[in-house]
Structure formats: C-alpha cells, structure tokens
Structure 1
C-alpha cells in the first residue's frame, strides 16, 4: 500500500506545473470568472501565482501565491464616477477612453514593486501563462518566461479578438460588444457594424498596439515582439459565453466556451437579519444593484430622487445596493453597501432584478429564474441588455432620460407578466443541459495545454494566409479575369463573324451587279 501511495504521489507531482495568472483589469466582474480556475488548479496540485486586483486570500490554498493589486481599485472607481452623469459618448470615444485609461494604469501596475520583482527575477520560471486577453500588454509575460499562454475573457470575445486567433467574424451576424445592437441588425446598423470593424482593423488596432508597445518596452525590454505577433501565439482562448444566451457562431477548436455559470458559487445561508427581512416580504421584493463598477451613489441626485419616488409607490420591499446613507428613503427601501447577490437572487420571494447589464449579474439572475430590468451605462452593458430584451428576459431603461411613470410601468410589466419569468426558466434549463460545467472545461483544457506544451496543432489556418486570400480576392480576380477574357473573346469572335458576313454580302452584291 505504501509503495502504491508513493507511486501515486510521484505521478501527481510529475504532472504539477507552475502557472502564472495575470488579470490587470481593476474590476470585480472581470476577476470573478478567473477565481474558480485559480482555486481549482491550485487544489489539483499546480503551483499557481496570480497578479490580481481581487485576491482570493484563502490560506487553505497552499499552492496559490497572490500579488495583490487592490490598491489600484480607487483609480478605476474615480474614472467611472466621472463617466456617469456626463453626456453619453460614442462607442468609439468610450473605447478610446478605456484603452488610454487602462494603458496608463497597467504601466503603474507593472511598476508596482512585487510585480517588478517577479519580472526581473532571473530564477523565476513558469510552464504556462493564463492571461486576460482583453489587453495586449500582459501578453509580454509569455515572452518573458518563454512559455505558452491561454487567453481568458470574462465576457464573449469581440470580433477583433476572434480575428486575432483566426476565428471567423462577420460584422452583420456578430456586431461588436461595444455596439448596442443585439443580434438582428437593420441595414443602417449593418453599415455601422461593418465600418466599426473596418476602422478597428485599419486604424484602432495599430494605434492601440502602438500605445501598449511603449509600456511593454519600458517593462520588458525592446527585444519583446510586437503585441500583434504575441497575440497570434495564443494556445487557447476561454470565453465566458455559451450558445444559449449568446448568438451561435462558428468557433475554431482553440476557442472554448466556459459560460453558463462557471463563476457561480454553491448556495450559502443569508445573514440572519437579511434573511428575516426577505422572509417577511410576503408581497415580494425587488433587488436593485448596478454591479461592482457602476455604483448607485454615482447617479445624479435628481435621478436618485426619481427612483425613490417610484419605489415609494410600489407594494414591494426594495433591497438596494447603495454605498452611502439615504436620508429621504421610503420605509420599504432597505440599503446596504454590500449584499450576497447570488443568494439574494435565490430567495423565493424575489420578484425582479434591476441591473446595469453586467454579464455575470445577468447569468446569476437567469440561473435563479429572476426577470430583469436593464439600465446599461457603458462597455458591453448596452449590448447585453439588448440581448436581454430580444430574448424576452426583461425590459430596458435609459438612465439619462429616466421618466417616473415609464419607470414604474416597466417595473410592474416585468413583475406582473409571467412570460418573462417563464422564458428565463426555459433558457436556464437549456443552458444547464451540457456534459461538463464551464470550470471543468477550463481545467481540462488548461491541463491539455500543459501536457502538450502548447496547442500549436489547434492553430487556425486563417492566421497563416494573407487577408486577400481569406476574402477570396485572388480567386475572385482569377474568375473575373477568366470571365473578362472569355467575354472579350466572344465579342471579338462575334465582331469578326459579323465583319466576315458583311464582307460576304458585299462580295455577293458586287458579283450580282457585275453580272448584270
């Protein structure tokens, strides 16, 4: 028995790997999808080191080492606060603002002493990098440690991301997540979607890569490959999507969908006081939260007052995630700086979830069968809420022109019309009917990449052909040339034949005239 135990230990030790996880976006919604993966990989014996703004801080995870970047959270929060209440920007302006902000922030994060120490540690080695594939700068860690890498996203991949790994992306079928279009596009929306993708391919991709290049050279040296070249070396991409909520699209083998609740936790009891309040809400309660990035206290005062007026007229208890005291709140409104969202959504008395449209929040509501009213602000939120409405899971409101009667009518419509809850229930049942959970797929494919020291054999052939071949321009050119040559030949032959016939007629006419 002891020999068998030693053999098992040796086998497990041999399969253990050193994994570096890098997620620099200072947002809980971006980090939450990664946490279960770090936990599971460390429990399986792998030595996991993470650079994160939201560390797990679980001493039982002895194989997990975390470099804590939580000190950078305040900067992100201030940027979002400035964004709320300002005139709405175009999606291109928003995108440029996010990239400029994040590029500056990543520069500071890489300058953070523990991160800089890891980068400069000549003894440090890793077998695999798992990195948030939203930004190009962190991909330099793969070059620094000469290891394969897996990209991971807390949302579905954008068209530019899919193009980077050689996955088909069609602007009319799959509009970018920064475009608030949903799935079925009108002609004008298809034109905008095409021009957006074209602008990104021709201008923005190169511009953003140039901005990030300066940061990469500063922290990783001038010998580091350019970001577009680094991004093409990806072994695999994990996207937080599934074919039920997200639009069906063709995927190359290197793309693994881990959506459908991969971040959700096991049910836990609510705090006693909160449990008592919700149990007593016999008419039901509404849960209102704008997520971890957009905070309700960032809303303009007049918007908060309007919301409170509506809540005061509703026959429901309102549970509102709000970071400050509200002096004029109605008796049916309960505020709290923090709430265990998943377990709140699981309570049987819940009637409605008012959300900003974050993907993880919507996912939790779907699996708890809770209809929603979406109030999107920026990023992929308008896109997500459009999907929510198109699939019949709830309705949408615009926070910039919120009107009292419309707000109240929208809430009551979603609560009182059973079709929203019934549709959500059917959708959740479809999403759960699959052979593996998202986290199980992520772990299996992570260890697959480790076993094979990368996954170049899954590389898409689209990465190895020039763009004009992918668009069939050379084939179209050949066919067009053949067509034109054939057409020219036919025209030439017809003209020659006509001339010949004309000459023959002249000869005959001349002969007749001569004989007469």
Structure 2
C-alpha cells in the first residue's frame, strides 16, 4: 500500500511540474510599498509549481521557495533616497515640476539598473518565458517581453493612471474618473472639473515627453529594431490595477483590466516583538499609531511641522507610537515612543489601538480598511491626497494639511476620531464590505496570470477601442457628416424658400401691372 501511495505522489508531482510555466516578474521601483503588493503573487505562483524569475529591489529571500529566482536591484535605493524627499516637496509646490522630477529620476534609475552586471548578464541570456508581469511605471522594462517573445501583463501598485486605461482601450473620462493623483473625485465644482481636464492632458503631455527618452533606453540596451514603448504598452494582454470597488470609485472596466486590490498584500497575523507587545498591552487607555509610510521619512519633514506634531502629541492623554527613522527625536514628550521600523499590520491589529495617523498611501489605506482602524490623514504627495479624501468622504476619519498644520485643529481632530464611535463603526462596516468578495485580489491575479499562460495571451479580449482612430471614437466624422447634412439641407431649403418668394413676388408684380 505504501508503495502505491509513493508512486501516486510521484505521478502527481510530475504532473504538477509539467503544468508549471516560466514566469518573469519585474518590479524595479525602489520603494517597498510598490514591492509588497506583488511579493505575495511571486510567492503563490512559485508554490503552484511555476518557475518564477523576478527583477526586484526587495528580494523575498525565502530559501523554501525553490522555484523562485531573484535578481537583486536593491542598490537602486541609494539614488532613490537621495532625491525622493526633494521631489515630494517639489510636488506640493508645483505638481508638474514634482512629476517631471519623478519621471527624470525614474529614467536615471532605469539606466543604472540596466547597466548593472546582473542585468547585463540577464540581457544576454537565452532564457525562455511563457509570461512576463511588469510594473507599468517602468515602461522600458516592457522590452523584456519583446526580447523573450512572450505575452505580458502590465501592473500597477495603485489605481491606474488615465494613460494606462487608455493603453488597454478602457473608457476614460476626466470628470467621472479623474487621475488617481487628482485630489477630487466626486461632486466637483466647475473649477475642479476644469482642473481635472487640464491635469489629465498635462499628464498625457508629460508621458509623451518621456517616451522619447524611454525609446532611447530601449535602443541602447535592447537593440535598434524594437518597437516604441507606447506600441509595446498597447499590446499588453492584461492590466492589473491595485484598486477595488470599496475604496475606489466605481468605473466601467473592459475584461483586460483586472482589479487586484482589496488587501491582496495582507499577510497572516504574527506576534509583535516581545518588548513592543508588553508596552502596548499595558496601554489601558489605548494608543495612537503614527506612520508616514516608506517614502516619506518623518525625520526629513520640515522642522516647523515636526514641532507642531510634537506639541500636539504632548497634550494628548494617549501614548503615541511613531515610526521615526532616526535614533533620537529632540524634544520628544514622554508619551511618544519612536522606532525606525514597525510591523504595521500587526500594530494595527492590536486591540488597544485607537487611531492611525497616516499619509494615506494605498497599502496603508487598504490595511486600515480591512483591519478596521479609523484615521487622521496627513497626505504628502502622489495619490495620497486622493486616497485620504475618499476615506474622509466615506466616514472613516478626518484629515489635516501638513503644510498648514495647526496644533489646536490637529488635536481636536484626533480627539474627535477617538471619542466619537461613529468613525470606528463606519470602518468596521467598510471592512465587512471589502471582505465579502467571491475572490481575493491575489486569487484574481493568480487566476488571470494562468489564463494568459494557458491561452498564450489574451488577444481575443482586446478592446475594439484600440483599433479605431481617435476621431472615430470621438464621433468627429459622424458629427461632421451630420453637420454637413444639416448645413446642406438648410442651404437647399434656403434656396427653395428664396426661389418661392421670388416667384411669388414676380407673380404679384405681374398682377399689379395687369391691373394698371
């Protein structure tokens, strides 16, 4: 009997291996908030028997994942960290300048990554892949799909920008569905609607502006005969967007756009470090958790803002746990605990937590919804302001502006959230909605990835919008024909009426002459 069981196990193992595909995953952005969204995807695909190779700045480094090979680009953080805060502050002074700074920085980092020895070796390899899954903010990397002649899935760690939806032939509208970094999304005033239209078009111009540089990088590292980056983007089999219908606005989606949001990066609870757990367990009045995420460093925020934050915290009857990236914090009140790193998901799960003060990054927003903690938002850049506005509109909390932070207002909002149960109750309601789904975001990502592998792409799902000229989509030719027809008909009618009036006038004149 044991022999039969072993034989069956071996047969099943070989069948499983035979079904495995070779998958290339590329997430080159040196930001852990981008990486954590897709790490569960790489892990699960490898556990399902697929041979997964990833190009990443944050390798998982799990020796039990024997099907996972990782090309480590962690060195990219050095360049990223040097300029990230400068671009964030520039974004608040002048969003266009800030975005251009990120675009130029991204191109420089991509150049550094592609000339790195590990990437040069990979570029020269003769590997074969059945699928590539590539982060959309680094479009140059899409050339790998062309190099390996395999279908690819474009993906983003937040909701898609308008240009990404357009690249999939998905309907867009600057008022109904403004870009994810535009901080207004419903019941917009005329000025806000005008701003959204301008913002969307400016973004399109900047994307077009960067396309030339991207094409030059493709030619430099991949070869002269590669199509343009824009052409490659339009050939994506699918687009994975990290959004969901609970936090994000409802919008029509073509079959090739798949929402994988809704806490897909959440992991199973783990015990807190012993010392931290003991401190939080003893906070009978509860505690506040304050973190600005992975890109905005608390140690680098303007000193005036930091002083206001400390003065506010010193007057609160609660302990504040602050993710602060330096060893020391001058003028720190006794009720403030600082730490360079904290296991955020497990901190949010602690029963004594009262409030999460957050910058509003999408991953943090997902966590607070699914775990059920009310917020005070303090957005800095990117999609953070829009995320915070959505959460405030949904009744999950309140917000403050870090550029105009005022102690009494900040304190009043903190106390309002903690002392008024409606905010926590509302978050619990949204958590129930977010979790009541037929599939998790991760399960959708896995299913659709294997779908593209099974069918060697998804050309049969391609949106017809990609195959018609822009003037046909806008009905300009139809409008022109209708206008011509209306104008011509009006002109003919005018000629007929004028001729009839002349005939009548002539007859009247003839009758008058006869009477005379």
Give the TM-score of the pair, scaled to structure 1.
0.96
Q: 1:18 aligns with which of 12, 15, 22?
A: 22
Q: 1:64 aligns with which of 50, 65, 68?
A: 68
Q: Cα offset for 1:6?
A: 4.8
Instruction: Tell me the residue number matched to 1:215.
Output: 217
1:350 matches 2:353: yes
4+ runs deviating over 6 angstroms: none
**In structure 2, C-alpha distance between the alignment counterparts of 1:46 and 1:13, rounded to whole Å:** 8
Question: Cα–Cα, structure 1 residues 7 and 504, in superposed 2: closer, same or farther, change >3 Å?
Answer: farther
**In structure 2, C-alpha distance between the alignment counterparts of 1:160 and 1:9, rounded to whole Å:** 43
1:117 matches 2:121: yes
**In structure 2, C-alpha distance between the alignment counterparts of 1:289 and 1:110, rounded to whole Å:** 33
Q: Mapping of 1:492-503 within 5 angstroms?
A: 492-503=495-506
Instruction: Tell me the residue number matched to 1:136.
Output: 139
Instruction: Tell me the residue number matched to 1:296.
Output: 298
Instruction: Tell me the residue number matched to 2:287.
Output: 285
Q: 1:297-344 deviations in whole A, cap 9, x for unaligned?
A: 011223222211111110001000011112421111111111110011
Instruction: Tell me the residue number matched to 2:385.
Output: 382
1:103 matches 2:113: no
Corresponding residue SS for 1:408: helix
Q: 1:359-410 deviations in whole A, cap 9, x for unaligned?
A: 0001101111111111111111112112122222111211112111111112
Q: Cα offset for 1:86?
A: 5.8
Q: Cα offset for 1:5?
A: 4.2
The gaps in structure 1 that reach 5 residues or longer are none
**In structure 2, C-alpha distance between the alignment counterparts of 1:29 and 1:502, rounded to whole Å:** 83
Corresponding residue SS for 1:190: helix
Question: Cα–Cα, structure 1 residues 84 and 481, in superposed 2: closer, same or farther, change >3 Å?
Answer: closer
Larger mean Cα displacement after TM superposition, 357-366 or 495-504: 495-504
Instruction: Tell me the residue number matched to 2:81.
Output: 77
Instruction: Tell me the residue number matched to 2:397.
Output: 394
Q: Pairwise CA RMSD of aligned residues?
A: 1.5
Q: Mapping of 1:460-475 within 5 angstroms?
A: 460-475=463-478
1:339 matches 2:342: yes
Q: 1:458-512 deviations in whole A, cap 9, x for unaligned?
A: 1111000010001111111111111111111222211111111111211222222
Corresponding residue SS for 1:286: strand
Corresponding residue SS for 2:75: helix
**In structure 2, C-alpha distance between the alignment counterparts of 1:144 and 1:86, rounded to whole Å:** 37
Instruction: Tell me the residue number matched to 1:268.
Output: 270
**In structure 1, C-alpha distance between the alignment counterparts of 2:228 and 2:515, rounded to whole Å:** 83
**In structure 2, C-alpha distance between the alignment counterparts of 1:272 and 1:6, rounded to whole Å:** 43
Q: Give the total of aligned pairs.
A: 511
1:363 matches 2:366: yes
**In structure 1, C-alpha distance between the alignment counterparts of 2:272 and 2:163, rounded to whole Å:** 41
Q: Cα offset for 1:210?
A: 0.6
Give the TM-score of the pair, scaled to structure 2.
0.96
Q: Cα offset for 1:429?
A: 1.2
Q: 1:81-106 deviations in whole A, cap 9, x for unaligned?
A: 33466683322222111100000001
Q: 1:218-276 deviations in whole A, cap 9, x for unaligned?
A: 11111111001000110011111011110000000001101111000011111111111
Question: Cα–Cα, structure 1 residues 116 and 267, in superposed 2: closer, same or farther, change >3 Å?
Answer: same
Instruction: Tell me the residue number matched to 1:172.
Output: 175
**In structure 2, C-alpha distance between the alignment counterparts of 1:233 and 1:425, rounded to whole Å:** 41
Question: Cα–Cα, structure 1 residues 458 and 309, in superposed 2: closer, same or farther, change >3 Å?
Answer: same
Question: Cα–Cα, structure 1 residues 499 and 241, in superposed 2: closer, same or farther, change >3 Å?
Answer: same
Q: 2:237 aligns with which of 235, 238, 242?
A: 235
Instruction: Tell me the residue number matched to 1:91.
Output: 95
Q: Cα offset for 1:183?
A: 2.8
1:152 matches 2:155: yes
**In structure 2, C-alpha distance between the alignment counterparts of 1:143 and 1:83, rounded to whole Å:** 32
**In structure 1, C-alpha distance between the alignment counterparts of 2:187 and 2:220, rounded to whole Å:** 44
Corresponding residue SS for 2:289: strand
Q: Cα offset for 1:351?
A: 0.8
Q: Cα offset for 1:74?
A: 2.5
**In structure 1, C-alpha distance between the alignment counterparts of 2:90 and 2:504, rounded to whole Å:** 79
Question: Cα–Cα, structure 1 residues 86 and 196, in superposed 2: closer, same or farther, change >3 Å?
Answer: closer
Q: Note if contact 1:285-1:316 (Cα within 8 Å) is conserved in structure 2.
A: yes
Q: 1:46-76 deviations in whole A, cap 9, x for unaligned?
A: 0000010111010000000011111211221
Corresponding residue SS for 2:12: helix
**In structure 2, C-alpha distance between the alignment counterparts of 1:86 and 1:195, rounded to whole Å:** 19
1:308 matches 2:328: no
